[in-house]
A and B are shown apart, each in its own frame.
Chain A
Amino acid sequence: MTNATSPDTYKRLLEVKGLQTYFKTDAGIVKAVDGISFTLNKGETLGIVGESGSGKSVTNLSIMRLIPSPPGKIVGGEVLFEGKDILKLSEGELRHLRGNDISMIFQDPMTSLNPFLRISTQMIETIRLHQSMSRREALAKSIEMLKLVGIPAAEERIHSYPHQFSGGMRQRVMIGMALSCEAKILIADEPTTALDVTIQAQILELIQELSKKLDTAVILITHDLGVVAGMCDTVCVMYAGKIVEKAKTDDLYANPSHPYTYGLIQSVPRLDKAHDGKLFSIEGQPPNVIDLPPCCPFHPRCHKAMDICRTQYPPTKDLGNGHEVSCWLFIDEKEHSHE
């Protein structure tokens, strides 16, 4: 994929436009991702936050074209990588893309490491899949990668099986493998959720450091607002398959505009703040994304819900500086001074 485009075009490394991914289930159509758009720039770290089931993983599996089909299907939208639509690539082109251009770290390293194969075997295979190297060279590179991610005695330990490593070490191996391909984009789906905070801090620092060094753009999926604050340049907040707010990280925390984002930020206890009495709390449950009516999916839990919220999905409003929000409160004509 070396077409002679100006470097400027490449600033927008990945553009997701109106992506829709649905699943056909017995209960009905699950609109897991329903018309989301965002841009990932070169070297940028983009966070995707949202509750369980909001569509974070499906978004990224769609980008990698890894949606199991059936029951899943990408039914609309474009995913442009360096200007080229991933959704239109052939199988061969896809294989090249995965690993060479985009690599991924999954939440549970055990699901992506084969328990019956030595770490060395798996790393060598992964590297040789994408780069033409001899086994020896690939082994040397693997050891180098393990050292880089801080596995002590890498020369010996590389011959271990996955279960002989702790959760944190396995996650570091995954990061090592993902980065060994020197892809342009690293997608990390909750890379630290299963880990302890001190190990989490090690891993996040590692991702941050290596992505800077190798100039890799990162998509970081997490439900931890603290992790986002420390790692990301930009944030997308997802709710029920939609991006409800998108902003530069600083803007989002300083000025959370969607009532869901506001509630989310308010409802986490904070170490650095004195507190007395009750936490802010968003009442109710997240919606079922099966056969959602065309309303604001947050309205049953929203303090500020108006009539229109119950009948129409709000358009997206640009608040400036790339801060976008999808909420009727920000649509001028409809503002009936409800605040």
Chain B
Amino acid sequence: MSKTTEKRPLLEVKDLKQHFPIESGFIMKRQIGAVRAVDGISFTVNEGETLGIVGESGCGKSTTVRSIAQLYKPTSGSVIFDGIDLVNAPREQMLDARKNIQMIFQDPYASLDPRMTVRTIIAEPLEIYRTRGMLDASVTRDVIEKRVEELMERVGLNRAFKNRYPHEFSGGQRQRIGIARALALNPKIILADEPVSALDVSIQSQILNLLHDLQKELGLTYVFIAHDLAVIEYISTRVAVMYLGKIMELSRSSDLYKNPLHPYTKALLSAAPIPDPVIERKRQRIILTGDVPSPNKERFGCYFYDRCPYKMEKCKTNIPPMKRMDEHHEVACWLYE
């Protein structure tokens, strides 16, 4: 990768909102509210870097990457990929750009069609774009066959297993199949939604290493979701901490552990167990009370207000804007006004 392009923004998300309507009534459907899954977030991802998204269940991580991949039509905001606004571009142009955006999913059991062979699974994105006539004419059946074998080897699968079915593979191997499939179209960016959360520790490190190697070799850009902070910190260049559909803090990953600013980030970090009994005994935990509130309600104050140990009067009725603290660190909290 040439050094000059390293800082080029590849993906820009601006004030993205993804609301899901809540409807009532059988015949006359009436919208009675909305799940504010993603409620106005902005960030950029530079070429060759990994942006980590971390946060608790239901905070909108998956919805964020799905809206980026245009699996949903965003409620508002824009997703600019490589100079093209995916939300408003004509379909043909959007699909062409979409080729460069691929996803890997959490559950290697559920995300692969059990009736398809590994070969068919990996080749599927190529076949789809070929039938659409959106691939180079030189991509023939033979080329695809070759590509499948090459991809299998690359992700550490024996090409002899090409005609086997997903259930014949272990969890880690299935995740490798998912990765090979995501690589098939030679994408620029991979959106990885909890790719290691379902795996055992020893398998998890194999997959993290594989993703790390692939990034180096192929110059890939990642958006990587996890709820495990240590995993996020390990894999990411920068980290976005989400809560209730909002980004609370955005920081270089190496700074996040050393210098967390947002009260939520602090709580999250202090709750994450560290595999060292000597350290664990000495640690002071910030134990948050209560559960994550429902995202169905419109909020007019800080989204973390209900559970924040430092809340002030002002936080109740004013939404804190994202404030830049230094070149690599932004936070949305009234404590840093």
A–B pairs, 27, beta carbons within 8 Å:
A51-B201, A196-B56, A197-B271, A201-B271, A201-B288, A205-B285, A223-B200, A226-B274, A230-B273, A230-B274, A230-B277, A250-B278, A253-B275, A264-B202, A267-B202, A269-B205, A269-B230, A270-B274, A271-B230, A271-B269, A278-B212, A278-B213, A279-B208, A281-B205, A282-B206, A285-B170, A285-B173
User: Cβ of A282 and Cβ of B285 under 8 Å apart?
Assistant: no
User: What is the minimal beta-carbon distance from B271 to any residue of chain A, in angstroms?
Assistant: 4
> In the bound complex, what is the Cα–Cα distance between A281 and B56 (angstroms)?
27
Per CB-CB distance, the 4 closest pairs between chain A and chain B, nearest first, are A226-B273, A269-B234, A201-B271, A267-B205
> In the bound complex, what is the Cα–Cα distance between A272 and B206 (angstroms)?
21
User: Cβ of B202 and Cβ of A282 under 8 Å apart?
Assistant: yes
Please give me the residue from chain A that is nearest to B208 by CB atom: A279
Q: Does B272 contact A (CB under 8 A)?
A: yes
User: Cβ of A286 and Cβ of B200 under 8 Å apart?
Assistant: yes
Please, what's the 1-or-0 string for B212-247, where 1 marks a CB less than 8 Å from any CB in chain A? 110000000000000111110111000000000000
**B interface residue numbers (CB < 8 A to A):** 56-57, 170-173, 200-206, 208-209, 212-213, 227-231, 233-235, 254, 257, 267-281, 283, 285, 287-292
User: Cβ of A285 and Cβ of B274 under 8 Å apart?
Assistant: no
Contacts beyond the supplied A197-B228, A268-B201: 17 A-B pairs with Cβ under 8 Å: A51-B200, A51-B201, A150-B289, A166-B291, A197-B271, A200-B273, A202-B288, A202-B289, A225-B275, A226-B273, A226-B280, A268-B204, A268-B230, A270-B275, A278-B209, A282-B206, A286-B200
- Residues of chain B within 8 A of A301, CB atoms compared: 202
User: Cβ of B201 and Cβ of A264 under 8 Å apart?
Assistant: yes
User: What is the minimal beta-carbon distance from A107 to any residue of chain B, in angstroms?
Assistant: 14
User: Cβ of B201 and Cβ of A196 under 8 Å apart?
Assistant: no
The A261-285 residues at the B interface (CB cut-off 8 A) are 263-265, 267-272, 274-275, 277-283, 285
Which of the residues A202, A272, A282 comes within 8 Å of B257, measured between beta carbons?
Answer: A272
Which of the residues B205, B212, B279 comes within 8 Å of A280, measured between beta carbons?
Answer: B205
User: Cβ of B208 and Cβ of A229 under 8 Å apart?
Assistant: no
Q: Does A227 contact B (CB under 8 A)?
A: yes
The A190-231 residues at the B interface (CB cut-off 8 A) are 196-202, 205, 223-230
- Residues of chain A within 8 A of B289, CB atoms compared: 150, 202
Contacts A196-B56, A198-B288, A226-B280; A282 near B205 (Cβ below 8 A): yes
- Residues of chain B within 8 A of A230, CB atoms compared: 273-274, 277, 280-281, 283
Q: Does A169 contact B (CB under 8 A)?
A: yes
User: Cβ of B230 and Cβ of A270 under 8 Å apart?
Assistant: yes
- Residues of chain B within 8 A of A263, CB atoms compared: 202
Which of the residues A168, A227, A272 comes within 8 Å of B279, measured between beta carbons?
Answer: A272
User: Cβ of B276 and Cβ of A198 under 8 Å apart?
Assistant: no
- Residues of chain A within 8 A of B290, CB atoms compared: 152
User: What is the minimal beta-carbon distance from B274 to any residue of chain A, in angstroms?
Assistant: 5
- Residues of chain B within 8 A of A250, CB atoms compared: 277-278
User: Cβ of B209 and Cβ of A198 under 8 Å apart?
Assistant: no
User: Cβ of A281 and Cβ of B202 under 8 Å apart?
Assistant: yes
- Residues of chain B within 8 A of A249, CB atoms compared: 277
User: What is the minimal beta-carbon distance from B176 to any residue of chain A, in angstroms?
Assistant: 11
Contacts A230-B277, A253-B277; A268 near B229 (Cβ below 8 A): no
User: What is the minimal beta-carbon distance from B160 to any residue of chain A, in angstroms?
Assistant: 16
User: Cβ of B291 and Cβ of A268 under 8 Å apart?
Assistant: no
- Residues of chain A within 8 A of B233, CB atoms compared: 269, 271
Contacts A268-B275, A269-B230, A279-B234; A229 near B280 (Cβ below 8 A): yes
> In the bound complex, what is the Cα–Cα distance between A315 and B170 (angstroms)?
30
User: Cβ of B231 and Cβ of A269 under 8 Å apart?
Assistant: yes
Please give me the residue from chain A that is nearest to B273 by CB atom: A226
Q: What total of chain A residues lie within 8 Å of the partner, measured CB to CB?
A: 48
Q: Does A25 contact B (CB under 8 A)?
A: no
- Residues of chain B within 8 A of A160, CB atoms compared: none
User: Cβ of B230 and Cβ of A223 under 8 Å apart?
Assistant: no
Which of the residues B200, B229, B287 comes within 8 Å of A201, measured between beta carbons?
Answer: B287
User: Cβ of A227 and Cβ of B273 under 8 Å apart?
Assistant: yes
User: What is the minimal beta-carbon distance from B59 to any residue of chain A, in angstroms?
Assistant: 9
Please give me the residue from chain A that is nearest to B56 by CB atom: A196
Q: Does A131 contact B (CB under 8 A)?
A: no
- Residues of chain B within 8 A of A166, CB atoms compared: 291-292
Q: Does A52 contact B (CB under 8 A)?
A: yes
Please give me the residue from chain B that is nearest to A249 by CB atom: B277
User: Cβ of A281 and Cβ of B230 under 8 Å apart?
Assistant: no
Please give me the residue from chain B that is nearest to A301 by CB atom: B202
> In the bound complex, what is the Cα–Cα distance between A52 and B202 (angstroms)?
11
User: Cβ of A271 and Cβ of B201 under 8 Å apart?
Assistant: no
Contacts A205-B285, A278-B212; A169 near B201 (Cβ below 8 A): no
Which of the residues A196, A274, A286 comes within 8 Å of B227, measured between beta carbons?
Answer: A196
- Residues of chain B within 8 A of A265, CB atoms compared: 275
> In the bound complex, what is the Cα–Cα distance between A282 and B50 (angstroms)?
24
Please give me the residue from chain A that is nearest to B235 by CB atom: A269
> In the bound complex, what is the Cα–Cα distance between A227 and B280 (angstroms)?
9
- Residues of chain B within 8 A of A169, CB atoms compared: 291
> In the bound complex, what is the Cα–Cα distance between A228 and B277 (angstroms)?
8
Interface hub of B200, B233, B279, B280 (most chain A Cβ within 10 A): B200
- Residues of chain A within 8 A of B267, CB atoms compared: 198
Interface hub of B231, B234, B267 (most chain A Cβ within 10 A): B234
- Residues of chain B within 8 A of A264, CB atoms compared: 201-202
User: Cβ of B205 and Cβ of A229 under 8 Å apart?
Assistant: no
Which of the residues A198, A227, A283 comes within 8 Å of B206, measured between beta carbons?
Answer: A283
User: Cβ of A271 and Cβ of B202 under 8 Å apart?
Assistant: no
> In the bound complex, what is the Cα–Cα distance between A229 and B275 (angstroms)?
5
User: What is the minimal beta-carbon distance from A214 to any residue of chain B, in angstroms?
Assistant: 20
The A113-154 residues at the B interface (CB cut-off 8 A) are 150, 152
User: What is the minimal beta-carbon distance from A334 to any residue of chain B, in angstroms?
Assistant: 26
User: What is the minimal beta-carbon distance from B253 to any residue of chain A, in angstroms?
Assistant: 10
User: Cβ of B271 and Cβ of A200 under 8 Å apart?
Assistant: yes
User: What is the minimal beta-carbon distance from B174 to any residue of chain A, in angstroms?
Assistant: 12
Please give me the residue from chain B that is nearest to A274 by CB atom: B254
